[in-house]
Copies of this chain bind each other. A is one copy, B any other.
Amino acid sequence: MRGFKSLTPIAEAQRIVLNAITHVPQEALVALPESLGLYASRDIISSIDVPPFDRAAFDGYAVRSEDTLGASRTNPILLRIVGKSLPNSPYTNVLKPGEAVEIATGAPLPEGADAVVPYEEAVKRDGYLEVYRPVPRFYYVSRRGEDIAAGEVVLRRGKKIKPWDLGVLASVGVRQVYVYKITAALISTGSELVELEEASPPPGKVINSTRHVITAILKEFGVDVYYMGIVPDDEEIIYRAIKEALNRFDIVITTGGVSVGEPDYVIKAVSHLKPEVLIHGIAARPGRPNSAAVVGGKPIVMLSGFPVASIVGFEVFVKPIILKMVGAREEPLPTARAVLTRRVTTPINVRSFVRVRVYKEGGRLYAEPLAVTGSGILSTLTKGNALLIVPENREGYDEGEEVEVILLGPVD
């Protein structure tokens, strides 16, 4: 077991924890529409060709390209028009030498035909088509399988399934998809907590708001959350709750009980589980108390009890852990470059997450740092619409400096 007395830099903490994760969530076969936002657990292979047959890519006439050899403006070649091919009613005979068939975009090419002469490039006269120049094979033809070939992988394992993926999968007839069913247990620790649904909290008690933040982020991330309730500050009770959750779920997330200054009930409880890895606290501000452990290849993430700090812990630990477990890569985040309206001062050797309000003025973007005095400063969550991450090797940014921010909502 590796323990850390001092705060671990974020990158190191992530490396240590991710390296120790071996657990893989179970897969489930779900109906296509239910796979939205989940992660494919297997490569998905098309069993059909798209298009399923050679078809016209333009309105015109299906011809045999060899028939058009030698055609010219002065010496057009005449082809007899013998029928019509529409998407709903294809021409079913074989096209013989010297014949042409009128064809609509998307209609199957008749057997024997291998090119389409667009309306604009030929003239119909007395039941015959006058062709003025030779056309190459497959001219204006969408070839069978040119879009997707049977046997081709259309979606890779680990891919997060997007709306347009559903379109492709439906088109190739995929009705069910194997996806990872990721389950998380959420345990709120803290004798001071009361649930939102209960009566207004008496003095000394606080509403368990972090539960709602973490549940919602997990849900948006495609994870099924099982809320296990509030557990008091009691090492033995916390131990039993985490142990039970560890047996049943892919990831165990606790909130609270890891603040600096508070007795470390949660850390002590997790220690009894003999973790391969235990990171106690990270060099983050806010978010210092966020901790993580790995027991038998499975992750336990101990988040701060404060909403703002818990979000940092989610980004640092929960997100990369889940992505690793399902073999996925991180989705891109919206960013913007904005000019700082005030100096931001942050401690060295710590990664700082500063909420800012980004607004547009005179065609430029500005970022106004929001005053915070602690990790519990709630209003920055609704007043801020972006996040400035100050790396460990900097002590902040100057007023007027252009910085890159992560946008969390529309620019003001």
- CB atoms of A142 and B105 under 8 A apart: no
Q: Which residues of chain A in 48-95 are interfacial with respect to chain B, using CB atoms and an 8 Å cutoff?
A: 50, 52-53, 57, 59, 87-90
Among B59, B105, B382, B411, the residue within 8 A (CB) of A168 is B382
| A155 to B335 CA separation, bound complex (whole angstroms) | 23
Closest CB-CB distance, A290 to chain B, in whole Å? 16
Q: Most chain-B CB neighbours within 10 Å: which of A33, A52, A210, A211?
A: A33
Closest CB-CB distance, A144 to chain B, in whole Å? 13
The interface on chain A, measured as residues whose beta carbon lies within 8 A of the other chain's beta carbons, has a size of 83
| A175 to B173 CA separation, bound complex (whole angstroms) | 44
A87-B192, A167-B213, A379-B148 known; A408-B175 Cβ under 8 A: no
- CB atoms of B104 and A36 under 8 A apart: no
- CB atoms of B171 and A378 under 8 A apart: yes
Measured between beta carbons, the chain B residues less than 8 angstroms from A50 are 378-379
Among B142, B167, B311, the residue within 8 A (CB) of A374 is B142
- CB atoms of A209 and B170 under 8 A apart: yes
Name which residue of chain B comes closest to A328, CB basis. Answer: B410
A-B pairs with lowest CB-CB distance, top 4? A163-B216, A167-B307, A170-B209, A332-B334
A-side residues, CB < 8 A to B, are: 32-33, 36-37, 50, 52-53, 57, 59, 87-90, 104-106, 108, 142, 147-148, 154-155, 159-160, 162-171, 173, 175, 191-192, 196-197, 200, 203-204, 206-217, 219-220, 261, 307-308, 311, 328-336, 373-374, 376-379, 381-382, 407-411
16 sampled A-B residue pairs with Cβ under 8 A: A32-B196, A59-B261, A148-B378, A162-B408, A163-B213, A166-B209, A167-B308, A167-B378, A170-B196, A171-B378, A173-B207, A328-B410, A331-B334, A331-B409, A332-B409, A334-B334
